[in-house]
């Protein structure tokens, strides 16, 4: 599963 909105990592 990949979602761009999940870029929560630093």
- Considering the complex, what minimum distance in angstroms separates the CB of residue 3 from another protein? 9
SS3 for 1-10 is CCCHHHCCCC
Distance CA 1, CA 6 (A): 10
Tally Cβ neighbours within 10 Å of residue 9.
4
Rounded to a whole number of angstroms, the minimum distance from the CB of residue 5 to another protein is: 7
Site string (1-10) toward another protein, x via CB under 8 A: xx-xxxxxxx
Q: Taking the complex as a whole, how short is the minimal distance between the CB of residue 8 and another protein, in angstroms?
A: 5
Residues contributing to the site for another protein (CB under 8 A)? 1-2, 4-10
């Amino acid at each position: 599963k990949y979602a761009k909105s999940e870029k929560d990592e630093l």
